Each structure stands twice: as C-alpha cells, then as structure tokens.
Amino acid sequence: MARVCQVTGKKRMIGNNVSHSKRRTKREFAPNLKNKKFWSEEEQRFITLKVSCRGMKTIYKNGLAETLKKSKEQGLINIV
C-alpha cells in the first residue's frame, strides 16, 4: 500500500494543472505522508507507521492503541 495513510486512509487524488491559457494537463495531489515510529505502551515496543499529519494528530488525540484498533477494523492496517 504505497502512498496511503495507515490511520486515515488518505490517498493520492488526481486533478489538473491549469495554465494561464486555461489548458489542462493531469497532475497528482499526494498526501503529506511521513514514516513515524510510535511507542506502544501495551506491547513495550516501537511501531512504525506511514501516516499523514492528520493521522499523527489523531494518534496524539485518541491514543495509539485505540487508533490502531479502529484502523484494523477499517482494513487500513495489518499489524499483528
């Protein structure tokens, strides 16, 4: 799963570059993804996730364990 946030499910979007003369060419809007290690207090280990900045904010707000549980339910993540 490349370029997909493992918490929010955000992925790339397709749009247009519009020039001054209004000619349109295709382009890609990529999400702001970062590879980030989070400390899991329950498992006493680091978990590396590919998350967007919105996903990091969600983890800091709701906690890592709850966020991972919701992501597994949505099928965005498959950490054992």
Give the per-residue pLDDT at 51. Answer: 96
Locate the domains of the chain by residue range: 13-74
DSSP assigned state of 11 = -
- Which stretches of the chain drop beneath a pLDDT of 70? 1, 80
What pTM did the predictor assign? 0.83
d(CA 55, CA 25): 30
Give the per-residue pLDDT at 2. Answer: 82
The topology (CATH level 3) of 13-74 is Ribosomal Protein L24e; Chain: T; (2.30.170)
Give the per-residue pLDDT at 80. Answer: 61
d(CA 79, CA 19): 44
Pairing of strands 45-52, 33-40: antiparallel
